[in-house]
Amino acid sequence: MLTRALGETGLRGSVVGLGAGPLGDERLDDAAAERLVRGALDLGVTLFDTAPSYGRSEERLGRALAGQSGGDVLVSTKLGYGVDGVEDWTGECVRRGVDRALGVLRRERIDIAHLHSCGPEILAREEIRRALEDAVRDGKVGVAAYSGDGDGLRAAKSLGLFRCFQVSHNLVDQEACAEGMPDGAAVLGKRTLLNAAFVLQGAERPDVAEYERRFAAVEWPELVRDRPAAAALRFAAFGGPHAVLVGTSRLDNLARAVEALDEGPLPLETRRAIEEAWGRARWPGLI
C-alpha cells in the first residue's frame, strides 16, 4: 500500500483510508465489522475515518483497533455535536466531544479531529475554535481539522486554525480542490467513489441522486465507462488529496480500491478529460 505524508502535519498514512460510515450500519453485525477493520489492516490501510453520526462506527472501530498503537494507525473523527446533555456547536460540546471520542475510540490521542460540516456562522464562534485549540495544546488531538465544502470550507480555510481539510473530491465533484488548499495542509478526499453513483439506481438520497445526474450528463472516456470505480479511485488518489477515503461495508470492495491504486495515475489525457468535464459544468461541492 502506498503511503504519503499528510501535508506538513507530521502524520503519514495509507493513501486509501477506510471511510468507516458503513461500519456503523446495523445491517453489519459486530463480527463482520471487526473482520472489515482487521481485513483493512491486512491490506495495509492505516487511516480510518469515523464520526459520532455514523451509528456505532466509532465504538466498533475502537474495539477493532484496540491492539494497534497510536504510531501504527491514524484515527480521524468529527466534533461539534452528539454529546449527551450538551448543546451542539458550543465550546463545551467540542471539549466534551474530544473526551467522549478518546473513550469510545479507546485511544490516547485523536490523530485528526474535524469540526463536522458546520457553516461560517458556527466557525465564527470563538469558544468552539478555542476548545479545539486547547485539545491540540493538551495533546488530546493531533491535528485540528475541518470537514466540509462550499462556504463553510472557504471560511474554514481563512481562519488559520485547521491543518487538515476533508473535502469531496471525485469525477463529478472537484470544486474544493480546484479552489486550492492552504500551504502545508493535509487534504483527505471524501466521497471518492461518488457514492457509487456510476451504478445508476435511482437513488433516494438527494446527494447521491445529484451525483447520478452529474455522472449521466457526461460522455466519459473509455477507462471511466469500462471500470468507473477503478477510474474514480485513480483519479482521486493522484493529483488531489493526500489520502482518499473509501466508504464500504465490503472487504472485497476495499481490496479493489487498493488494487486500483496499484495501477497508478490515470493516463494524462483521461485525467484532463475528467477535469474538463467538471470545468464545463462547475458543479458545486457536496458536503
Residues of the shown chain interacting with ligand NAP in the complex, contacts defined by CB under 6 A = 19-22, 49, 116-117, 147, 166, 190-196, 199, 229, 245-250, 253, 256, 287
CB of 117 to ligand NAP, least distance (A): 5
Q: Which is nearer to ligand NAP, 68 or 249 (CB)?
A: 249
The x, y and z cell numbers of residue 15, run together, are 493513501
The DSSP 8-state label assigned to residue 200 in this structure reads -
CB of 251 to ligand NAP, least distance (A): 9
Q: Which is nearer to ligand NAP, 273 or 286 (CB)?
A: 286
Q: Which is nearer to ligand NAP, 138 or 205 (CB)?
A: 205
How far apart (Å, rounded) are the C-alpha atoms in residues 265 and 241?
A: 13
Residue partners of 127: CB distance under 8 A and separation at least 6: 90, 91, 92
The residue nearest ligand NAP at its CB is: 247
CB of 280 to ligand NAP, least distance (A): 22
Nearest to 80 by CA among 134, 142, 128: 128
**Which residue has cell 473526551?**
99
The x, y and z cell numbers of residue 51, run together, are 464520526
CB of 71 to ligand NAP, least distance (A): 22
Q: Which is nearer to ligand NAP, 189 or 221 (CB)?
A: 189
CB of 217 to ligand NAP, least distance (A): 18
Nearest to 207 by CA among 136, 164, 149: 149
CB of 50 to ligand NAP, least distance (A): 7
How far apart (Å, rounded) are the C-alpha atoms in residues 82 and 89?
A: 9
How far apart (Å, rounded) are the C-alpha atoms in residues 21 and 8?
A: 27
Q: Which is nearer to ligand NAP, 138 or 226 (CB)?
A: 226
Q: Which is nearer to ligand NAP, 140 or 256 (CB)?
A: 256
Q: Which is nearer to ligand NAP, 20 or 185 (CB)?
A: 20
The x, y and z cell numbers of residue 200, run together, are 445508476
How far apart (Å, rounded) are the C-alpha atoms in residues 7 and 1?
A: 18
**Which residue has cell 488530546?**
140
Residue partners of 247: CB distance under 8 A and separation at least 6: 19, 20, 21, 22, 193, 195
How far apart (Å, rounded) are the C-alpha atoms in residues 123 and 272?
A: 35
